[in-house]
């Protein structure tokens, strides 16, 4: 039995019941889930994904609304530029593909904000194609089981794609099943710091376990600090603008963070990134249509 067979058998019994994995989920639903899951845990994504798909079940539905509504709906998922990219992507899908998420890998890669991983994930998980889909979890599993190394390093390489491709069955649908199975194993069993080796279907053959190698001395990626960073300040500013019913004066934004220099830098960054626009002396979410009266303190 191959590693792919073992992974699929394990997945068929132990996979998490996630909404974007249901048979009725559209390719658009898969695309939205993949964008939301970038650098964000499943527990935070699931309710956001359900709300998003209820409001915008198709690319055309999202494209018909202004970009500001996508940013507003994104809430506190983090990295709100992803919401902007999804909105731009929806518009491109409507304009270029009649509202249907394309199944061709090159066409997926040509969509705004869709990179190599996301394009392969959609082609594989939405359309059952045979592509190596490699994220941090997959690289860790392959590195340990096949190469005997505790960690694959901080970034995906061409060698990672080749290594995964060699493990996939030839039949496309089964290869797609294997891809999600390897990913799930890395997410809930072969974890970075506390792997559950006794629960792993590769327990008897894992090269890393058999060599007795310890876990790496430190994380392969330096944890990103959030408290006190510009990211935190940007999030606080966006929170005010998302809930505003009209243009927000600078004084209202000034109260969210005491450090004037950092606050001004964060606000300028939001404007530069296209998330926020100036409205006279005030501010609104980019693409918003001002509603009601200008807020006052």
Q: How many Å is the Cα radius of gyration of the chain?
A: 22
Catalytic residue among 6, 34, 69, 184: 34
Sign of CA dihedral 109, 113, 117, 121: negative
Contact status, residue 17 vs residue 87, Cβ threshold 8 Å? no
Distance CA 279, CA 68 (A): 14
**Which tokens belong to 234?**
């940007």
Task: Clarify whether 34 is annotated catalytic.
Answer: yes
CA 4 to chain centre: 25
Three-state secondary structure readout of the chain: CCHHHHHHHHHHHHCCCCHHHCCCCCHHHHHHHHHHCCCCCHHHHHHHHHHHHHHCCCHHHHHCCCHHHHHHHHCCCCCCHHHHHHHHHHHHHHHHHCCCCCCCHHHHHCCCCCCHHHHHHHHHHCCCCCCCCCCHHHHHHHHHHCCCCCCCCCCCCHHHHHHHHHHCCCCHHHHHHHHHHHHHHHHHCCCCCCCCHHHCCCCCCCHHHHHCCCCCCCCCCCCCCCCCCHHHHHHHHHHHHHCCCCCEEHHHHHCCCCCHHHHHHHHHHHHHCCCEEEECCEEEECCCCCCCCCCCC
Which are the catalytic amino acids? 34
């Amino acid at each position: 039995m191959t590693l792919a067979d073992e992974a699929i058998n394990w997945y068929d019994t132990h996979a998490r019941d996630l909404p974007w994995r249901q048979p009725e989920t559209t390719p658009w639903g898969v695309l939205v889930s993949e964008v939301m899951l970038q650098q964000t845990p499943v527990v935070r994504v699931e309710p956001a994904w359900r709300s998003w798909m209820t409001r915008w079940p198709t690319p055309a539905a999202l494209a018909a609304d202004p970009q500001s509504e996508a940013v507003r709906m994104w809430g506190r998922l983090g990295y709100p530029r992803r919401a902007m990219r999804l909105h731009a992507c929806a518009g491109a899908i409507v304009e270029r593909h009649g509202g249907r998420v394309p199944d061709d890998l090159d066409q997926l890669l040509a969509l705004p904000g869709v990179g190599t991983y996301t394009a392969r994930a959609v082609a594989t998980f939405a359309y059952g194609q045979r592509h190596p889909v490699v994220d941090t979890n997959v690289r860790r599993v392959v590195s340990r089981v096949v190469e005997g190394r505790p960690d694959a390093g901080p970034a995906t390489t061409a060698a990672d794609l080749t290594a995964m491709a060699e493990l996939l069955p030839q039949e496309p649908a089964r290869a797609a099943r294997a891809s999600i199975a390897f990913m799930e194993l890395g997410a809930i069993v072969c974890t970075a710091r506390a792997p559950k080796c006794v629960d792993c279907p590769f327990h008897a053959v894992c090269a890393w376990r058999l060599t007795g190698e310890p876990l790496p001395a430190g994380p392969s990626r330096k944890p990103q600090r959030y408290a006190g960073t510009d990211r935190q300040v940007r999030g606080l500013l966006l929170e005010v603008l998302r809930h505003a019913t009209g243009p927000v004066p600078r004084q209202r934004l000034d109260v969210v963070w005491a450090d004037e220099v950092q606050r001004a830098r964060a606000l300028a960054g939001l404007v530069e990134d296209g998330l926020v626009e100036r409205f006279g002396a005030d501010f609104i979410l980019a693409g918003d249509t001002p509603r009601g009266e200008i807020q006052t303190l």
